[in-house]
């Protein structure tokens, strides 16, 4: 990945932490990044608590990670993201010109023509961003999010958040996508303890710098499929050409040990 960039994700909302709603952002952001050969380095779920949010944003804004933050940018009393970012920056909230024009256009389409009407004033609060922030267009309903440095704040609604994140990955961050696909290969081992395959994992990582091994034990999912029985999924992931050589070595060592195996297939992450 170019410039050593790391990607992070915030999912904000008491409704996620309480279980009233199930998060969908984590898996989708992983998929959006993976389709471009990129990977998510970390993710955090945060409450609708301004002090907690401000402390977290203060920490992350001081770093260099590219961060997508989903949720809490509305204008209801339980939305604190905009205010918390401003606090973390030591900045004031101010109505952003692009956001003002975009929101007024949305209101006109709904028949609201007076910008001083109560509904209009409440809607315009969603365009109040920390001073110095840039507006982030929202292709779904026109009400923008905002960007501060490498932090991008989008609504919590997936139908809005995901296209906005995609526009960033295919726009300013398109150059970060690697020219090659990152590959992952694995197989299932039956009747094998993880401790017995640790030496092989260490050997592969020592011989092929940049290739990572993984082992995922399972008690079995039931049924007659390959994952129905207790097993360990053993695999390698990395970039060509080293990943191909590491995969060949893994399969050769497994064959020599005469382990009972099952196939899982291979995948590319971007």
Per-residue pLDDT of the chain (270 residues; tens, 9 = 90+): 445 789 999 999 999 999 999 999 999 999 999 888 899 999 999 999 999 999 999 999 999 999 999 999 999 999 999 999 999 999 999 999 999 999 999 999 999 999 999 989 999 999 999 999 999 999 999 999 999 999 999 999 999 999 999 999 999 999 998 876 778 999 999 999 999 999 999 999 999 998 999 999 998 877 667 778 889 999 999 888 889 999 999 999 999 999 999 877 555 554
Of the candidates 94, 78, 75, the one whose C-alpha atom is nearest the C-alpha of residue 86 is 94
CA distance 197 to 108: 65
Indicate if 12 and 86 belong to the same structural domain.
yes
Whether residue 156 contacts residue 71, with contact meaning beta carbons closer than 8 Å, is answered with yes
Indicate if 171 and 187 belong to the same structural domain.
no
Indicate if 26 and 127 belong to the same structural domain.
yes
Indicate if 86 and 162 belong to the same structural domain.
yes
Indicate if 55 and 149 belong to the same structural domain.
yes
How many domains in the chain? 2
Of 176, 192, 224, the residue that ends a domain is: 176
Whether residue 91 contacts residue 130, with contact meaning beta carbons closer than 8 Å, is answered with yes
Read off φ and ψ for residue 65, nearest 5 degrees.
-65, 150
Residue 47 in tokens: 């409450």
Domain of residue 219: give its range: 182-268
CA distance 67 to 10: 7
Indicate if 158 and 257 belong to the same structural domain.
no
CA distance 67 to 33: 12
Of 121, 143, 176, the residue that ends a domain is: 176
Indicate if 40 and 108 belong to the same structural domain.
yes
CA separation, residue 177 to residues 9, 114, 154, 174 (Å): 18, 45, 22, 6
Of 117, 152, 176, the residue that ends a domain is: 176
């Amino acid at each position: 990945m170019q410039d050593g960039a790391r990607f992070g994700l915030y999912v904000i909302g008491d409704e996620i932490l309480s279980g009233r709603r199930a998060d969908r952002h984590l898996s989708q952001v992983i998929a959006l990044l993976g389709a471009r050969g990129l990977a998510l380095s970390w993710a955090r779920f945060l409450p609708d608590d301004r002090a907690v949010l401000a402390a977290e944003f203060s920490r992350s804004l001081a770093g260099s990670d590219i961060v997508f933050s989903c949720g809490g940018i509305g204008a209801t009393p339980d939305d604190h993201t905009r205010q918390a970012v401003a606090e973390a920056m030591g900045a004031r909230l101010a109505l952003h010109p692009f956001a003002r024009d975009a929101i007024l256009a949305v209101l006109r389409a709904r028949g609201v023509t007076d910008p001083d009407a109560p509904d209009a004033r409440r809607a315009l609060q969603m365009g109040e961003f920390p001073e110095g922030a840039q507006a982030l267009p929202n292709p779904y309903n026109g009400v923008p999010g905002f960007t501060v440095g490498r932090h991008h704040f989008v609504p919590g609604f997936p139908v809005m958040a995901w296209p906005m994140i995609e526009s960033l990955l295919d726009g300013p961050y398109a150059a970060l996508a690697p020219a090659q696909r990152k590959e992952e290969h694995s197989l299932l081992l039956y009747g094998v303890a993880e401790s017995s395959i640790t030496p092989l994992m260490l050997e592969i990582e020592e011989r092929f710098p940049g290739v990572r091994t993984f082992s995922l034990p399972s008690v079995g999912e039931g049924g007659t499929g390959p994952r129905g029985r207790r097993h360990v999924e053993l695999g390698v992931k990395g970039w060509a050409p080293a990943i191909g050589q590491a995969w060949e070595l893994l399969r050769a060592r497994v064959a020599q040990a005469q382990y009972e195996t099952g196939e899982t297939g291979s995948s590319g992450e971007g």
